[in-house]
Amino acid sequence: SQQGEEDPQALSIQEGENATMNCSYKTSINNLQWYRQNSGRGLVHLILIRSNEREKHSGRLRVTLDTSKKSSSLLITASRAADTASYFCATDASLKRGSTLGRLYFGRGTQLTVWP
């Protein structure tokens, strides 16, 4: 079964508003990543947060991680029409550091639509 599950499945907002997407996972992780996908093709890495971190920022992106709740959130501030895409969280789900290095488990994604 998939490790990460994003919520909501779809989100529609106006430009300038903030967009918040959530991700829940099932097992212990070393890292959690967020990726973006345009038009069903290649994914682009956005940000990685390690299991010992609680919050991380990158430009207009803010990611939080709560390992006790096995959840993460991605906040995009001051959204733009160009942010329209699918957003995926991905976890490594390594029970032993390095044992399954590299293999990622993806959720089904949140489809974000930002209207001009």
Give the residue, chosen from 11, 21, 23, 43, that forms a contact with other proteins under the rule CB under 8 A.
Answer: 43
User: Per-residue contact track with other proteins, 54 to 83, x per CB under 8 A?
Assistant: ------------------------------
Q: Are 12 and 26 in contact (CB under 8 A)?
A: no
Q: Measure the CA–CA gap between 8 and 80, rounded to whole angstroms.
A: 19
CB neighbours (10 Å) of residue 109?
Answer: 22
Q: Which residue has the tokens 């992106």?
A: 61
Q: Measure the CA–CA gap between 85 and 105, rounded to whole angstroms.
A: 19
CB of 112 to other proteins, least distance (A): 15
Name the β-bridge partners of 90.
33, 106
Region of 19-27, 29-37, 60-68, 72-80 interacting with other proteins (CB under 8 A): 29-37
> Is residue 24 near other proteins by the rule CB under 8 A?
no
Strands 10-14 and 110-115: parallel
CB of 15 to other proteins, least distance (A): 25
Binding residues vs other proteins (CB under 8 A): 2, 4, 30-31, 33, 35, 40-45, 48, 88, 90, 92, 100-109
